[in-house]
Amino acid sequence: MAGPFPPLVLFATNGRFSAAVLDGLMRNGLTPRALVLPGPARAFYVQPDFAAGSTAELARSRGIPLIHLSALEPGPAVERIAALGPLLGVMACFPRLLPMTVANVPAWGTLNIHPSPLPRYRGPAPLFWQLRDGVEQLHVSLHRVVPELDAGAVVARQCRPLPMGADGRALDRHLAGLGVVALLRLLTAHPRGAFPGQGQDPAAASRQSWPADGDFAVDVAGSARRAFVFMTGCADWRRPFRVRGCPGLGLSRAVSFRDRGTLGAPWRATGDTVLVQCAPGVLRAVAALPGAPTQ
């Protein structure tokens, strides 16, 4: 990609998607002037087991200043960001709405790297809901930050086929890579920051919240392949998966699948191994521990 690139600040959290975006930016000559994190350390999370502290540690190792953006007193952070003179702000999984007084500090505004085909799947955890719905492509949308969550004009998109059997960590790396590529191409095509955008259609928009226990459900009316991809991609949430149509059956993780096959029963268990009849195919999984909630 062409350079040099404009000075930017990265609004992120300590989760692995943010860390992968920061790493991708630095590898391509876009080292941020600051990493802006959402307040005190206890607020640096995306979801359980996903907060390894890697983003801040990576920034410190490269001498990138850390700025903590307090929701109650944003003024000092705004002053520090402005003093750095960034032309562009970039968001990657920042866990709350960014005030426009902050988003507008960079001269070119702020763009959010959102891992979904906007306007569909607005809100947190978009990858979970896409895997649950059986999507076959990974999507990233770059959009302008506006007062409404994930609703700004889209200025760039990237997609690629969903890697079969990839876990959540690998999927986050793929999505972060797509986001960095989209940003690089945008900056190369529009080096002065005049990014043409396409407004989102509110009628086509969908928004999901954080998944609840009941959302970890395998639908046997779908294919075994779809169930395997969903369970593998979402295993690190560490929630038991219930199986629709099989009351009381809980699964902890997927092992493999067959595109074809008939069990002659909704499911069969041998020890902790469970075979589940899907339509079509057979899913092989490990049973959840006794007492794990499945409803």
Domain boundaries, the chain: 8-204, 213-287
β-bridge partners, 12: 92
Nearest to 143 by CA among 205, 65, 60: 205
The pTM assigned to this predicted structure is 0.91
8-204: CATH architecture: 3-Layer(aba) Sandwich (3.40)
Backbone angles phi and psi of 106, in degrees to 5: -65, 140
Helix (H, G, I), strand (E, B) or coil at 172: helix
**Could you say which residues of the chain have pLDDT below 70?**
1-3, 40-53, 290-295
Residue 105 near residue 86 (C-beta atoms within 8 A): yes
Query: Please, what is the angle between helix 16-27 and helix 168-189, to 10°?
Result: 40
How far apart CA 290 and CA 122 sit, in angstroms, is: 35
- Per DSSP (E only), the strands in the chain are 8-12, 34-37, 66-68, 88-92, 110-114, 137-144, 154-161, 217-219, 241-244, 250-258, 267-270, 273-277, 282-287
How far apart CA 205 and CA 182 sit, in angstroms, is: 22
Instruction: Say what the pLDDT of residue 291 is.
Output: 53
The tens digit of pLDDT for each residue in 227-260 reads: 999 999 999 999 999 999 898 899 999 999 999 9
Instruction: Say what the pLDDT of residue 54 is.
Output: 83
The tens digit of pLDDT for each residue in 80-94 reads: 999 999 999 999 999
